[in-house]
Amino acid sequence: MALELRSEAADTPRPPGFFRRTKSRRGRVSDKERMFFTEQLALLLETGTNLHAGLRVLKGQVQSPAMESVIEALISDVAGGKSFSQALARHPQVFTKTYVNLIAASEGGGFMYQVLQQLLEMDEKRGQLRSTMVSALSYPVFLLVFALAVVIFVLVVVFPKFAEMFSLIQDQLPPTTVFLMAASDFLRNQWVPLLGAIALAMSLLRYWMATPGGTQTLDRLKIRLPGIGAIFIKLYLVQSLRVMSLSLDNGVGIVDTLHACREVVRNRLFQRFIESVEGRVQEGGGIAAGFSGSDFIPPIVEQMITTGEETGNLPKVMGRLADFYERELGKRLDAVSRLAEPVMLLVMGAVVGLLVSSLILPIFKLSRAVH
């Protein structure tokens, strides 16, 4: 359905492809809103609309107050003589350094709409990767939560109904039944202090995770833990190599590219690695020399980057590596999900079997005592 333009954009031609956006109720610009801005601005520029007119059209299309405010500021800055990249740089919470650097490299070259399309593709791939990770982990997490809910229900609702009956053979109860009866009493009588203790523990954990020491410990565990480390390393490689490929292919300097990569990867250990690569480059060395000095970078990455640097095809090689590790990450996540499902089912079966046996065995003993 076509969008209604506001009065200030009524005389501006509107290309096809616009769709009504739902109004954002948040005070920040979401990834989807930024992607919508990128896609529609690329379309406007490709069809011959100049930048200032395109921004005015987009201002009439967005329904997010936060995004509308950003576009108003962009229009004002561009009209005031600032370049588009300088205007974008004033909104780091919306546009990353990679975004700004690529737009800066495209200004004056007549291919800004192509760069915008590439940025959109990068955002879409990042979203697809995030969806893959969420879908791979959601079912095991659901099974875990469901199993916990079943255990709590049985302990709080079912076990108390047998308490008086089991008190007749207190000395003959199996150890598991005694333990579960005690756990049932504790949950029913001390649930308020228990919830308070859980809330306090979670608050302390969040506080510790926000400290430099806690963040560094978690970041180290993400990379060093067996199994999990391989997943996070592949994720960080996909994120950083994708940015490097796109930036270098559009003429962004190597130092600026590496500096932007540090903002993309949310791991201090990996950020230090990128800083070391940046230091090697500033000293006159190449990117390949920096990649060869890390103990958690796969050898194939070092070899491919060395080859790309020697042949002058570094952006293409990095793009191929990013695609390769994205596929590998998807396979690894799928394997983890498939392995976690039967493991969780076995755990749930064991827990249910323990609960049932802890109820059935004392009942058998009571029936034998009656006979």
Could you report the per-residue pLDDT of 259-284, keeping only the tens digit for each? Answer: 888 878 888 889 888 988 888 888 88
Q: Please enumerate in sequence order all residues whose Cβ is within 8 A of that of 264, keeping only pairs 6 or more positions apart, or say none.
A: 96, 98, 239, 240, 243
Judge whether 108 lies within some domain: no
Q: Which residue has the tokens 């191929």?
A: 320
Structure tokens, 106: 């495209």
Task: Express each pLDDT in 288-346 by its tens digit.
Answer: 888 877 778 888 888 899 899 888 889 999 999 999 998 898 888 888 888 887 888 88
Distance CA 348, CA 30 (A): 38
pLDDT of residue 2: 34
Judge whether 254 lies within some domain: yes
Domain that holds residue 18: 7-95
Task: Kindly report the average pLDDT of the chain as a whole number.
Answer: 82
Quote the number of domains for the chain.
Answer: 2
Residue 150 shares a structural domain with residue 297: yes
Residues 127, 31 contacting (CB under 8 angstroms): yes
What secondary structure letter does DSSP report for 170? G
Judge whether 83 lies within some domain: yes
Residue 213 shares a structural domain with residue 332: yes
Distance CA 326, CA 297 (A): 15
Judge whether 166 lies within some domain: yes
Distance CA 257, CA 42 (A): 22
pLDDT of residue 70: 92
Residue 283 shares a structural domain with residue 248: yes
Residues 174, 362 contacting (CB under 8 angstroms): yes
Residue 191 shares a structural domain with residue 223: yes
Termini Cα distance of the chain: 78
Judge whether 103 lies within some domain: no
Residue 174 shares a structural domain with residue 291: yes
pLDDT of residue 4: 33
Question: What CATH number should be reported for the domain holding residue 22?
Answer: 1.20.81.30
Q: Per-residue confidence of the chain (371 residues) as pLDDT tens digits? A: 333 333 333 333 433 333 333 333 446 888 899 999 999 999 998 888 888 899 999 888 888 888 999 999 999 999 998 999 899 999 989 998 888 888 888 876 667 888 898 889 888 888 888 888 888 778 888 888 888 888 888 888 888 887 777 776 667 778 888 888 888 888 888 888 989 999 999 999 999 988 988 888 998 888 888 878 888 898 899 988 988 888 888 888 888 888 888 878 888 889 888 988 888 888 887 888 888 777 788 888 888 998 998 888 899 999 999 999 988 988 888 888 888 878 888 888 888 888 888 888 777 777 665 55
Residue 188 shares a structural domain with residue 235: yes
Residue 68 shares a structural domain with residue 156: no
Write down which residue in 95, 129, 159 finishes a domain. Answer: 95
Residue 27 shares a structural domain with residue 172: no
pLDDT of residue 12: 39
Write down which residue in 29, 62, 95 finishes a domain. Answer: 95
Write down which residue in 63, 95, 127 finishes a domain. Answer: 95
pLDDT of residue 18: 36
Residue 250 shares a structural domain with residue 315: yes
Distance CA 351, CA 359 (A): 13
Judge whether 100 lies within some domain: no
pLDDT of residue 27: 66
For residue 165, the one-letter residue type is: M
Residue 263 shares a structural domain with residue 355: yes
> Which value, in Å, is the radius of gyration of the alpha carbons in the chain?
29
Distance CA 311, CA 302 (A): 14
Distance CA 176, CA 80 (A): 76
Judge whether 138 lies within some domain: yes
Residue 157 shares a structural domain with residue 248: yes
pTM for the model: 0.72
Q: Which residue has the tokens 């990379």?
A: 223
Judge whether 106 lies within some domain: no
Residue 187 shares a structural domain with residue 301: yes
Distance CA 249, CA 310 (A): 16
